Amino acid sequence: MYMAEFKLRFGNRKWYVRRIVEADSYEKAVELAKKYAELMNKGEVKWELADVYEAARPLMIGEEEIKKLE
């Protein structure tokens, strides 16, 4: 499983969002994330792919994550 991070822009505003990407390889995940950003660019908000990385437990906060931070 992979996580894609996107930079969104609307006028002078900028923020980041993350999406889970289901893919068998890093290359496929990047391809899917780029396509997603391209398709999302049909509105006023501009989507840019910032990064794709492998994530074993994306967007989850549990005891394991808390222990890693302590």
Strand order in the sheet with 13-21: 13-21, 2-10, 46-54
Please give the structure tokens belonging to residue 36: 């997603």
Give this prediction's pTM.
0.79
Q: How much is the pLDDT for 65? A: 78
Which tops the pLDDT comparison, 70 or 33?
33
For the segment 5-53, what is each residue's pLDDT rounded down to a tens digit? 999 999 999 999 999 999 999 999 999 999 999 999 988 999 999 999 9
| Residue type at position 15 | W
Please give the structure tokens belonging to residue 55: 């994530």
Please give the structure tokens belonging to residue 60: 């989850």
Q: How much is the pLDDT for 69? A: 78
